[in-house]
Amino acid sequence: MQAGGDIALALHHAHAAQPPLLELVKDAMGAASPAASVRPAPDVPEPDDEGPLYVARRKIYPQRVKGTYRTIKWIVLFVTLGIYYGLPFVRWDRGPGAPDQAVLIDFPNRRFYFFFIELWPQEIYYLTGLLILAAMTLFLMNAVAGRVWCGYLCPQTVWTDLFQTIERWVEGDRREHLQRDRQPWTVERLGRSGLKHVLWLMLAWWTGGAWVLYFADAPTLVKELATFEAPLLAYVWIGILTFTTYTLAGHMREQVCLYMCPWPRIQAALTDEHALNVTYRYDRGEPRGSVKKSAALRVQGMPAGDCVDCYQCVYVCPTGVDIRSGPNLGCIQCGLCIDACDTVMAKIDRPARLIAYDTDLNIKRRQEGQPELYHIVRMRTVFYAGVIAIVAAVMAYALATRQSEGISVIHDRNPIFVRLSDGELRNGFTVRILNKSLERRSFVLTVEGLADIDLKIVGDTVTSGPMAVITVGPDQSHELRVLVSTYSSLPPAASIPLTFRITDAQTGQRASAVDHFRGP
Ligand code: SF4
Ligand code: SF4
């Protein structure tokens, strides 16, 4: 009993991020129970804090697995890829003269269309709101269930999953692929490898091809691409994205998560003891050993864990992590090891969820005989949800009350003012009038702030007096040079606020901007 207790205690400490102890524990287990043989996993690195700074990459051969989380991953994969590949072809009627693509980034005309929303460059602040929403959603997901984003939604995960599936189709499952890779090159092996890379490149090409469809009318661009009449830039971008997809998802895979992506580091700093993470319940699994050995130990009243040390959880892991070693930067929390272990538990007639979404806190509480505690509603989740709600509400209000007209004014930099021969003082401004509606509109431009004002539009010899009428085409902006003059006497170094106002001649809708009239 004492030996078993020591082992369990040592394992608890080993789990608390002291990997070298794991080796000692395995030794202790072997000494205490010869039947608890540890089957080596040839392609699985053992945790070792004192190892070299640089470790050569070990190729990972993830094994196929079935189960709840694998099904969830398939569903998420099909939904997200379906949206990505299909969205450019969704139509949205915006009226005559406007593009009918639901989601379109129109660089030539400097517009972003998202279903009923049309954003102009002046409204880039909506992007800030979107980024805040995205960051807070990521933080909330992390506070509730760890790296859900990494495990299910991240493009790197989704495409890597797809590339690995193709690899398994062509090269076989883990064991077959491993054996094939150990054999010398043959025509058959070359053929399989070639087929895999061709399929990968085709998928990568589709990925890049779908991306460019967001920047032009998709059906038209598809025709142009097929007939080699598309702009050169489209082919260049497809080439770049084909290369990056093929490299990142086909070759680099888990290396992106381990070495390139900052999120695992940020996530580790943001998590807390209540966040649900894929966790090996070592309180239940240890001391690990073979089925027979564990059964024998139980008969003798000795402690025996449910883990049969079969390494199935490691073999299915897309990043090659042994979840039993505790929290790991390489674990993307995909849940596939849960499915693998559940299958093993079903076979040996032990309860499922030896690996599960759980917390270290609960393991500790169970060991102390206390009930489990799931604490989803807490300060940080309430804070993140609150920020999301506020930012979403502000954005919704801003969109709902968005004006369909606008004006911006820039004072001439040089000269700041001009004194004419008849004594009149003149300032020059560049005025841009925006018409965001889909109809041609006439705006009355007025300038307020000085008692005696004369407006002149450069190029317009007719307009003279305190106002001008400007016509702007549908969904367009119109830039004009406006000269504002006055005979009024101004104080020295005057800087008088001027309000430039446009008023729709038909509807009366208004917009204004403020600049200053400068004097000597
Ligand atoms: S799959 Fe389950 S039983 Fe097998 S090694 Fe992993 S944790 Fe242990
Ligand atoms: S350890 Fe489990 S949850 Fe983590 S990446 Fe590997 S399979 Fe996914």
Q: What digits encode the pLDDT tens for the residues 142-167? A: 999 999 999 999 999 999 999 999 99
**Is residue 414 exposed (0-12), middle (13-18) or buried (19+ Cβ within 10 Å)?**
exposed
Residue 464 pLDDT more than 80?
Answer: no
Locus of tokens 């062509």:
170
Ligand nearest to the CA of 65: 2
Q: Which of 48-52, 348-352, 494-498 has the lowest mean pLDDT?
A: 48-52
Ligand 2 pocket residues where CB is under 6 Å: 278, 316-319, 321, 323, 331-337
Query: How many A from CA of 424 to the centre of ligand 2?
Result: 78
Residue nearest to atom 6 of ligand 1 (CA): 313
Average pLDDT over residues 263-284: 91
Residue 4 pLDDT more than 90?
Answer: no
Show contacts of 244-250: CB within 8 Å, 24+ apart: 245/159, 245/203, 245/204, 245/207, 245/208, 246/200, 246/201, 246/204, 248/156, 248/159, 248/160, 249/156, 249/159, 249/160, 249/162, 249/163, 249/200, 249/204, 250/163, 250/197, 250/200, 250/204
Predicted pLDDT of residue 221: 97
Q: How confident is the model at residue 465 (pLDDT cuts 50, 70, 90)?
A: confident
279 three-state secondary structure: strand
Average pLDDT over residues 476-492: 91
Predicted pLDDT of residue 41: 47
Could you report the per-residue pLDDT of 77-123, keeping only the tens digit for each?
999 999 999 999 999 998 888 899 999 999 999 999 999 999 998 88
* Element of type H or E holding 293: helix 291-299
Query: How many A from CA of 69 to the centre of ligand 1?
Result: 16
Query: How many A from CA of 250 to the centre of ligand 2?
Result: 19
According to the CATH classification, is domain 405-518 in 2.60.40.10? yes
Q: Give span(s): CATH 2.60.40.10, the chain.
A: 405-518
Average pLDDT over residues 325-330: 88
For residues 336 and 318, the answer to whether their CB atoms sit within 8 Å is: yes
Predicted pLDDT of residue 492: 87
For residues 81 and 199, the answer to whether their CB atoms sit within 8 Å is: no
Specify the ligand 2 atom closest to the Cα of 334. 8
pTM above 0.75, yes or no: yes
Specify the ligand 2 atom closest to the Cα of 338. 2
Query: How many A from CA of 354 to the centre of ligand 1?
Result: 8
Instruction: Please provide the DSSP assignment of 333-397 as one string.
Output: ---HHHHHHHHHHHHTT--S-SEEEE-HHHHHHHHTTPPP----SSHHHHHHHHHHHHHHHHHHH
Predicted pLDDT of residue 3: 38
Q: Rounded distance, CA 500 to CA 361, Å?
A: 63
Query: How many A from CA of 326 to the centre of ligand 2?
Result: 11
Predicted pLDDT of residue 122: 85
Could you report the per-residue pLDDT of 295-319, keeping only the tens digit for each?
888 889 888 899 999 999 999 999 9
Question: Do the bridges between strand 103-106 and strand 111-114 make them parallel or antiparallel, or are there none, so unpaired?
Answer: antiparallel
Specify the ligand 1 atom closest to the Cα of 337. 1
Ligand 1 pocket residues where CB is under 6 Å: 280, 285, 307-313, 324, 340-341, 344, 354-355
Average pLDDT over residues 247-264: 94
Residue nearest to atom 7 of ligand 2 (CA): 317
Instruction: Please provide the DSSP assignment of 194-205 as one string.
Output: HHHHHHHHHHHH
Q: How confident is the model at residue 463 (pLDDT cuts 50, 70, 90)?
A: low
Assigned token pair, 26: 């395995």
Which residues are CB-contacts of 499 (< 8 A; sequence separation ≥ 6)? Answer: 447, 448, 449, 512, 513, 514
Predicted pLDDT of residue 50: 63
Q: Rounded distance, CA 28 to CA 293, Å?
A: 15
Rounded to 10°, the helix 68-86/187-212 angle is 50
Query: How many A from CA of 257 to the centre of ligand 2?
Result: 12
Query: How many A from CA of 414 to the centre of ligand 2?
Result: 64
* Cα separation values, 310 from 6, 35, 91, 324, 388, Å: 23, 13, 52, 12, 44
Assigned token pair, 464: 């003279």
